[in-house]
Amino acid sequence: MERINTPVFEPSPFCGIIEGVRYATGYGEGDSTAHTKHPLDIHIVRATKKDIPTMWAWGENHWELWNSKSCKWYSRASLRRWLADPQHDVLLVAKAGDRLIGMCVAHTIRDFAYCTGLFIEKDYRGNGVATKLVGQMMEELRKKGVKEITLSANAKNNCAISLFESFGFKKGYPTIPLYVRL
Ligand SMILES: CC(C)(COP(=O)(O)OP(=O)(O)OC[C@H]1O[C@@H](n2cnc3c(N)ncnc32)[C@H](O)[C@@H]1OP(=O)(O)O)[C@@H](O)C(=O)NCCC(=O)NCCS
């Protein structure tokens, strides 16, 4: 596949909420063994509270993880609460040696899961790290009895869309994310 550069975020001239979001759903049938190139010494482990500052900074600074410009990702306080009590959720990070280089997090609601964050440090992209993280996330969710995983990807984020499609995720209805801050 031709490699494409990560697109630049341009806020909508109308309301600044979104550029358009595509919805992708998967039913736990993805083939996590289809990708095998992991030349780096990468290991996937559960996120711990030491990882919070980096995870938060990734969420704060990368539009790919946002629903809107004013409603970005989790606050540090939310991440602290979430990691302290993850219940059935899956919070994974990828490390190259000791260095934190990526994350993949998903909430569960009974047999349904919503993946809210996938990110790989720029220098480590294109090495199969996201493939490894998503494969492990899906495997863990499957073991927990999850039947459907959903996520939303910005319509310009072709890298992420192709990645999830390679795991069997399909495009759902085009949707407009609505949000309010309380
Ligand atoms: C999307 C992202 C997670 C991919 O991470 P990565 O570790 O580079 O991905 P992998 O090396 O595992 O690549 C897996 C697949 O993703 C797709 N992909 C990754 N980079 C791509 C690129 N530059 N162009 C096109 N497709 C790409 C391909 O389908 C690739 O499979 P292939 O290698 O068989 O072609 C990473 O670019 C990133 O962190 N982007 C910013 C955050 C983001 O977009 N998160 C997703 C929010 S929904």
pLDDT digits (tens, 9 = 90+) for 81-138: 999 999 999 999 999 999 999 999 999 999 999 999 999 999 999 999 999 999 999 9
159 forms beta bridges with none
Is the CB of 137 within 6 Å of ligand 1?
Answer: no
Beta-bridge partner residues of 100 = 95
Quick check: CB of 129 below 6 Å from ligand 1?
yes
Give the CATH number of the domain where residue 51 resides: 3.40.630.30
Residue 80 included in any domain: yes
Residue 20 lies in a domain: no
DSSP state of 175: B
Per-residue pLDDT tens over the stretch 38-70: 457 899 999 999 999 999 999 999 999 999 988
Tokens of 133: 């993280």
In a domain, 10, yes or no: no
Residue 23 forms part of a structural domain: no
- Structural domains of the chain, count: 1
Q: How far is the CA of 156 from the centre of ligand 1 (A)?
A: 13
Residue 13 belongs to a domain: no
How far apart, in whole angstroms, are the C-alpha atoms of residue 142 and residue 113? 10
Place of tokens 């629903």: 67
Q: Domain range for residue 95?
A: 32-144
User: What are the tens digits of pLDDT across the range 158-169?
Assistant: 999 999 999 999
Examine residue 38 and state whether it is found in any structural domain, yes or no.
yes
pLDDT recorded at residue 181 = 87
Report if residue 178 sits inside a domain: no
Secondary element (H or E) of residue 166: helix 158-166
Beta pairing, strands 99-109 & 21-26: unpaired
Q: Does the CB atom of residue 90 touch ligand 1 within 6 A? A: no
Q: Which of 38, 116, 163, 164 to mutate to test the pocket of ligand 1 (most atoms within 8 A of CB)?
A: 163
Q: Which residues lie below 8 Å from residue 67, measured CB to CB, with a gap of 6+?
A: 17, 18, 21, 152, 177, 179
Q: pTM here? A: 0.83
* Domain-embedded: residue 26: no
